[in-house]
Structure 1
Amino acid sequence: MSTQLTFLALLTGLLTGALFRFLNIPIPAPPELPGIMGIIGIYLGYKVIEHVDVGIDLLETLGL
């Protein structure tokens, strides 16, 4: 993972959040810690399954 890419993503998020607040519009993310922890949980669950290398191809299973 690129440190530069991570920094740019953080900077983009900070600028976007600041713009949303400046314009007084709600952010498209959960504004409280439990919601943020849910998003982190989704990410960690995805990475765990990716690490153990299990899963199915849902589109193939559905014939699409």
Structure 2
Amino acid sequence: MKEIILSTATGVAVGLIFAILKLPVPAPQTMPGVMGIVGIFIGYMLAIRFGWGS
């Protein structure tokens, strides 16, 4: 749980910095892009779970 809180806080801090510096966000701007990243993570976890990955 600690990792989730720290990574969320880091993401918020980076987002604030990018906004203050008026830089484009280095993340997908749409829900399909976000879901693509979630899908990659789920696929990776499935491969590990079923012994197909390292």
Normalised by the length of structure 2, the TM-score is 0.88
Alpha-carbon distance in structure 2 between the residues aligned to 1:54 and 1:33: 29
Shift of 1:49: 0.6
- Seq. identity, %: 37
Cα deviations across residues 29-52 of structure 1 (Å, max 9, x unaligned)?
Answer: 111111011000000000011100
Q: Hey, which bits of structure 1, 4+ residues long, moved more than 4 A?
A: none
Greater RCO structure (CA 8 Å; 6+ sep): 2
Structure 1, gaps ≥5 residues long: 58-64
Alpha-carbon distance in structure 1 between the residues aligned to 2:49 and 2:4: 20
Aligned length: 54
Structure 2, gaps ≥5 residues long: none
2:48 maps to 50
Higher Rg of the two aligned structures:
1
Cα deviations across residues 6-58 of structure 1 (Å, max 9, x unaligned)?
Answer: 10011000110111111110111111111011000000000011100114x7x
Partner residue of 1:19 out of 17, 20, 34: 17
Determine if the alignment matches structure 1 residue 30 to structure 2 residue 11. Answer: no
